[in-house]
């Protein structure tokens, strides 16, 4: 194996390892997936209680690379049983570059039946809930159908490609009274919960700027699956997929957006962007720069918050949390590590299971999913038109 192929294989392995560790969260990301992995390991499954009802889950497609990670995490839970697989392309070949597998192979590996007809899959009496990893442009149709069939829904981000489709999903979910969760794993980390606290408690004064970057080399190193470059199925490229994480963090921490502009480019010549930034102005007059890439090697994940009385840095090469502000301890004359971070949250899929089986809190649902799609839809309008887009 050449040096280039070795580097490519290492990147691919890291991507898939971290996807599984984070329950399908932020694959390949040192700051984000590392935190999610630590939290998952710190929360071993509790022993099944005698007579406890088992949640029966159907895996709705293996299209997205995180599907295997979600299934692995569910199989670790004693009160969950995977009972069926649906795949829109049953014979999708296993890929050496993405370690994906088609429905036939996956169902056999899980030891469950494969359904190739969505209606038949959703009519199964042994499926109480579904994990949606279908092509992004199919999300609205499959989730409306799942809700109408009375199935609880966990979905890979983004919720849908348009706000209109998000509203269709929301209407169906609310009417059916089923539980809904979208996978926002970066919102579970202690570091980002601390960033939220810093802004809310004005520990750096009034926040004026946020910068957040999440990137990997999946396109330039050639290890992302080919269908990730399909503009119809994906609805976009690096920003729509990997960029979802910094986007939802910006919306959660900074609040309601006022306007957005985008600069996307195409380094590897695919039909979707592989290197992208968005600049967002919020109702508070603060701004954010959201960065993502499929063509960045050894690019550390980072979040910066700058305010009128200090600044916060999270991540970088050493993955540290550093703050400099008189309101955060000391005189504000040097960078310090916070003495304590908030406890992390359970992974999104654990929240979903707990919400169904125990009435536990689900911290990101229909509203949060819609907010992300609103950002993405307008980001791509800004890219196509070359204009600044104002939010309604």
Q: Are 237 and 220 in contact (CB under 8 A)?
A: no
pLDDT at res. 21: 44
Per-residue pLDDT, 266 = 98
Residues 6+ apart with CB under 8 A from 4: none
At 34 the pLDDT is 43
Note the CATH number of domain 3-185+348-365. 3.40.50.720
Residues of the chain with CATH 3.30.360.10: 186-343+373-390
What is the CATH architecture of 186-343+373-390?
Answer: 2-Layer Sandwich (3.30)
For the chain, residues with pLDDT lower than 50 are 1, 3, 6-13, 15-31, 33-50, 91, 93-99
Q: Using the structure block, give the residue that is written with the tokens 């329950």.
A: 23
Residue 94, Cβ density class (10 Å: 0-12 exposed, 13-18 middle, ≥19 buried): exposed
Matching residue, tokens 């609040």: 255
**Residue ranges, CATH 3.40.50.720, the chain:** 3-185+348-365
The 10 Å Cβ neighbour count of residue 177 is 9
Report pLDDT for 196. 98
Q: Which of 155, 139, 71 is nearest to 105 (CA)?
A: 71
3-state helix/strand/coil string of the chain: CCHHHHHHHHHHHHHHHHHHHCCCCCCCCHHHHHHHHHHHHHCCCCCCCCCCCCEEEEEECCCCCCHHHHHHHHHCCCCEEEEEEECCCCCCCCCCCCCCCCHHHHHHHHCCCEECCHHHHHCCCCCCEEEECCCHHHHHHHHHHHHHCCCEEEECCCCCCCHHHHHHHHHHHHHHCCCEEECCHHHHCHHHHHHHHHHHCCECECEEEEEEEEECCCCCCCCCCHHHHCHHHHCCCCCCCCCHHHHHHHHHHHCCEEEEEEEEECCCCCCCCCEEEEEEEECCCCEEEEEEECCCCCCCCEEEEEECCEEEEEECCCCEEEEEEHHHCCCCCCCECCCCCCCCCCCHHHHHHHHHHHCCCCCCCHHHHHHHHHHHHHHHHHHHHCCCEECC
The Cα diameter of the chain in Å comes to 65
- Residue 152: the pLDDT is 98
Under a CB-based contact definition with an 8 Å cutoff, are residues 372 and 157 in contact? yes
pLDDT for 37 equals 44
Say how many C-beta atoms besides its own lie within 10 A of residue 340's C-beta: 8
Reported as a single tens digit per residue, the pLDDT across 44-73 is: 444 444 456 899 999 999 999 999 999 999
pLDDT recorded at residue 330: 76
Q: How far is CA 323 from the centre of its chain?
A: 26
Each residue's pLDDT tens digit, 118-156: 999 999 999 999 999 999 999 999 999 999 999 999 999
Which pLDDT score is estimated for 265? Answer: 97
pLDDT of residue 90: 53
Contact between residue 100 and residue 225 where contact means Cβ atoms under 8 Å apart: yes
Q: Residue 307 has what pLDDT?
A: 98
How far apart CA 265 and CA 288 sit, in angstroms, is 19
What backbone torsions phi and psi does residue 72 show, to the nearest 5 degrees?
A: -60, -40
pLDDT score at 225: 92
**pLDDT score of 379:** 98
């Amino acid at each position: 194996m050449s040096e280039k192929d070795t580097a490519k294989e290492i990147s691919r392995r890291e991507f898939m390892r971290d996807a599984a560790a984070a329950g399908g969260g932020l694959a390949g990301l040192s700051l984000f997936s590392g935190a999610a992995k630590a939290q998952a390991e710190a929360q071993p499954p509790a022993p099944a209680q005698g007579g406890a009802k088992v949640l029966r889950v159907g895996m709705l497609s293996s299209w997205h690379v995180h599907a295997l990670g979600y299934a692995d995490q569910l199989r670790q839970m004693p009160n969950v049983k995977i009972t069926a697989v649906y795949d829109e392309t049953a014979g999708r070949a296993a890929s050496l570059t993405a370690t994906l597998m088609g429905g036939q192979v996956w169902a056999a590996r899980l030891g469950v039946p494969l359904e190739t007809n969505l209606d038949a899959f959703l009519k199964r009496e042994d499926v109480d809930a579904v994990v949606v990893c279908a092509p992004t442009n199919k999300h609205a149709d499959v989730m409306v159908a799942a809700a109408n069939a009375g199935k609880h829904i966990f979905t890979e981000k983004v919720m849908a490609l348009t706000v209109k489709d998000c509203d269709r999903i929301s209407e169906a979910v609310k009417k059916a009274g089923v539980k809904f969760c979208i996978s926002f794993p970066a919102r579970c980390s202690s570091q980002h919960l601390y960033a939220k606290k810093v802004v809310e408690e004005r520990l750096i004064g009034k926040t004026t700027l946020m910068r957040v970057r999440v990137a990997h080399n999946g396109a330039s190193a050639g290890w992302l699956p080919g269908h990730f470059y399909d503009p119809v199925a994906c609805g976009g490229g690096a920003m729509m997929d990997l960029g979802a994480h910094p986007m939802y963090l910006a919306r959660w921490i900074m609040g309601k957006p006022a306007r957005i502009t985008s600069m996307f480019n195409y380094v590897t010549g695919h039909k979707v962007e592989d290197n992208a930034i968005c600049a967002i102005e919020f109702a508070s007059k603060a701004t954010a720069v959201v960065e993502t890439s499929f063509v960045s090697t050894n690019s550390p994940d980072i979040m910066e918050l700058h305010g009128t009385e200090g600044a916060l840095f999270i991540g970088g090469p050493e993955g540290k949390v550093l703050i400099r502000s008189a309101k955060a301890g000391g005189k504000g004359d040097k960078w310090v590590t916070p003495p304590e971070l908030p406890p992390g949250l359970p992974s999104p899929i654990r929240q979903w299971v707990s919400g169904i089986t125990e009435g536990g809190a689900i911290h990101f649902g229909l509203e949060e999913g819609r907010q992300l799609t609103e950002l993405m839809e307008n980001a791509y309008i800004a890219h196509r038109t070359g204009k600044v887009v104002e939010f309604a």
